[in-house]
Structure 1
Amino acid sequence: MSRLSRVYRLAVGGFFAYKAATLLVNALTFPRLRPRPTPAGPRVSLLVPARNEAHNLPHTLPGLLAQGAHEVLVLDDGSTDGTAEVARQYGARVISGQPLPAGWHGKPWACQQLAQAARGDVLVFTDADVTWHPGALGAVLHELERSGADLLSVYPRQHNVTLGERLLTPLVDDVLLTFLPAPLLRLPHPSAAAANGQLMTFRRKAYERVGGHALVRADLLEDVAFAQRLKGRGGRLALALGEDCLGVRMYRSYPESVAGFGKNAGAFHGRSRALLLLSAAWHLAAYTLPWLLPARSLRGLPWLRAAGLLERLLVNLVSGRRAPADLAEGLLGPVTPLLTLPVYLRATRRRVSWKGREYEQGSRL
């Protein structure tokens, strides 16, 4: 075996070994929500930033309104599809969003307005596509109290229906569970942080102490940036899996997934085209190349192929997605890097569009 082949085998094998070890640690230690009754206190505001979400609200608002929170506020962020009318029809209090100020991105501005209108001691920002099942709010508040966190961010269980949405959206769980060991979140350094903007729960005093969403007013990856900056200012961060309490259907098709992930991928890679290129090339080398090489060209090749196939299956088991169709997603391992190439391409652009708005990605690209 040539020196280059040996280096390749060791590098890819080490990569899969690290991800497997991290997944095992997270399977044993990652907090998981369990349904609980909503306690009498504190006062809780459930806050929904909504821009053209009339198709989601009929499915998600009833469960949100049934949680027993002090209030449920929906901010209509310039929708053109009747979002406000749908929200009022189901009984939510609707706020009309103000025009986007210079220097702000859409979601941080919507969340800032919601926080200013809210009266709760606990602020729960939840996306319009997140489904709240019975006992979810009690579970969130219990975990907030148990962890002592200033910010608790929850990852709802992915609910994917069509083949198109199964291609990429499960990668959210893969990145969370195979790259960041949960115990590292206890480290004080801001880089040991993650968050999911689909559900972020703040103690109001901590939220106001750091300036609210003004802290991340111009960040495309505002959830992770908020977690890092809050932690850097002495705040405490906690994460949890939503399990049976919370679900989400992020995107309805492969093109929607490309647009959504393409919006964030540049920021996730430090707005560096070089890192985007290296990331794309590395994943092709790790997951796709083993299936293109001749069977006897490399010692250990069957193990590399097996690792690439098993990873998504095991991630889905840990995240609670155990239906046969969910487990079959593991077969996508070898082609997933090819499917992500449009995401990387979109992320290299200096401007990205999302929900009818365009944003600058930053000069580093």
Structure 2
Amino acid sequence: MTSLPARLYRALALGWLASKAVVLLVNAVTFPRLHPSRPSLRPRVSLLVPARNEARALPHTLPGLLAQGADEVIVLDDESTDGTGIVAGCLGAQVIRGEPRPDGWYGKPWACQQLWRAASGDVLVFVDADVIWQPGALDAVLHGLEHTGADLLSVQPRQRPVTVGERLLTPLVDNAVLSYFPYPLIGLPQPAASMANGQVMALRRRALEEAGGFAAVRQVVLDDTEFARHLKARGRRLAVALGGPLIGVRMYASYPQSVAGYAKNVLPLHLGSRPLLLLSAVAHLAVYTLPWLVRVPGWRVLRVAGLLERVAANVISGRTRPADLLEGLLGPLTPLLALPVYARALRRTVSWKGRTYPQKAR
């Protein structure tokens, strides 16, 4: 007879995976996708790029942005040391030099605050420097903003990993978005039911002005989601869309970069709670890795479900090439590969792009 702890483990593990499968199914049906469309009335649009040491990325991404036909494309050179501003100017963008950060401001919110002040558009689209825009992408974003009536439409770009090292952790961002947050919840008025992706955020100028710009998130590392909550608390509407073939991204070029990038966000994603972060690490090891090492109760189902989950998230996001589908085989290894992320996130400070910020924990 199976012991009580074993039965409890099986129930919790299978229940967790089943709940994530339900969320994936809901999002497969309801999560919006960008598609080629034009808005009925095109407003004045500013494309705004906060850029710190992005000289290597901009030649690959900025030409596609400049070709979108926006009224202005402004790159803020955020105290770069690699010639970012020179590269952006040579490619044809308007470049402004970032001012030194005031006390109490983190890097990206301050860069976006300056871009907001410099822009003249009625719709302001904030774009990370590593995001890749295909022809018609801006029209699709504007159509989505118009169709949903949202004040903030953010886009989840399609991941475009190149190396094996990138595939180890980077694509997990899609799994996190698609298996934990049922998209219909975004329509609820509660600020906690908010989601946003700072890689692409299209904002109506009026809403941003009434919110006071980015001052509300000036000391927040995970500023996108917190900013979305701030807007919803003021009665504003949110929407999110998958970028599909129109908007992609190559976030990190290696496994070490993925570790550093995720480490800055993982504690805020766990509500700033170190005990919850540790519990998450243990739970992922117990559900996804342990069944491959020990024949725990339900091990067959747990193995199959763990492999299929990541494949399902990739398919929903539109990543269906053989190499993308084979990423599912990494399922048992992922909790082990993520341990350095958890270890860095437990530190009292977090570093990114040469700047160090305190970790706000409870």
Name the TM-score class by shorter chain.
over 0.9
Q: How does 1:208-247 map to 2 (within 5 A)?
A: 208-247=209-248
Q: Tell me if structure 2 keeps the 8 A contact 1:33–1:242.
A: yes
Distance 1:136 1:154 in 2: 11
* Structure 1 partner of 2:54: 53
Are residue 30 (structure 1) and residue 28 (structure 2) matched?
no
Offset of residue 39 of structure 1? 6.5
Are residue 341 (structure 1) and residue 339 (structure 2) matched?
yes
Q: Tell me if structure 1 keeps the 8 A contact 2:273–2:361.
A: no
Query: 1:304 aligns to what SS in structure 2?
Result: helix
* Structure 1 partner of 2:324: 326
Q: Tell me if structure 2 keeps the 8 A contact 1:154–1:196.
A: yes
* Structure 2 partner of 1:132: 133
Query: 1:212 aligns to what SS in structure 2?
Result: coil
**Which runs of 5 or more residues in structure 1 are unaligned?**
none
Q: How does 1:166-315 map to 2 (within 5 A)?
A: 166-294=167-295, 297-298=296-297, 300-315=298-313
Matching residue's letter, 2:73 = V
Q: Tell me if structure 2 keeps the 8 A contact 1:35–1:134.
A: no
* Structure 2 partner of 1:122: 123
Are residue 67 (structure 1) and residue 68 (structure 2) matched?
yes
From the superposition, tell whether residues 131 and 257 of structure 1 become closer, same or farther in structure 2 (CA, over 3 Å).
same
Q: Tell me if structure 1 keeps the 8 A contact 2:311–2:325.
A: yes
Are residue 18 (structure 1) and residue 16 (structure 2) matched?
no
**Which runs of 5 or more residues in structure 2 are unaligned?**
none
* Structure 2 partner of 1:352: 350
Matching residue's letter, 1:323 = R
Distance 2:36 2:61 in 1: 17
Q: Tell me if structure 2 keeps the 8 A contact 1:39–1:138.
A: no
Matching residue's letter, 2:94 = R
Deviations 1:30-54 (A, max 9, x none): 1000123476620000000000000
Q: Tell me if structure 1 keeps the 8 A contact 2:136–2:246.
A: yes
Query: 1:123 aligns to what SS in structure 2?
Result: strand
Deviations 1:194-233 (A, max 9, x none): 1111001100000111111111000000001001111111
Matching residue's letter, 1:336 = T
Q: Tell me if structure 2 keeps the 8 A contact 1:38–1:68.
A: no
Q: Tell me if structure 2 keeps the 8 A contact 1:38–1:137.
A: no
Distance 1:34 1:341 in 2: 37
* Structure 1 partner of 2:95: 94
State the identity %: 65
Deviations 1:311-358 (A, max 9, x none): 111111111001111100000001100111110111111111100100
Deviations 1:116-145 (A, max 9, x none): 000000000000000010110000000001
Distance 2:303 2:42 in 1: 52
Distance 2:40 2:66 in 1: 15
Say which is worse superposed, 206-215 or 102-111, in terms of deviation: 206-215
Are residue 104 (structure 1) and residue 102 (structure 2) matched?
no
Query: 1:325 aligns to what SS in structure 2?
Result: helix
Distance 2:134 2:93 in 1: 17
Distance 2:278 2:30 in 1: 33
Query: 1:167 aligns to what SS in structure 2?
Result: helix
Query: 2:220 aligns to what SS in structure 1?
Result: coil
Query: 1:131 aligns to what SS in structure 2?
Result: strand
Query: 1:73 aligns to what SS in structure 2?
Result: strand
Distance 1:129 1:40 in 2: 29
Offset of residue 89 of structure 1? 0.7
Matching residue's letter, 1:185 = I
Q: Tell me if structure 1 keeps the 8 A contact 2:42–2:142.
A: no
Offset of residue 67 of structure 1? 0.4
Distance 1:33 1:273 in 2: 36
Query: 2:360 aligns to what SS in structure 1?
Result: coil
Distance 1:286 1:212 in 2: 42
Distance 1:139 1:76 in 2: 27
**Count of residues in correspondence between the two structures:** 361
Matching residue's letter, 2:315 = L
Deviations 1:238-285 (A, max 9, x none): 010000110000000000000000011111112221011101001111
Query: 2:241 aligns to what SS in structure 1?
Result: strand
Offset of residue 361 of structure 1? 1.2
* Structure 1 partner of 2:155: 154
Distance 1:82 1:38 in 2: 36
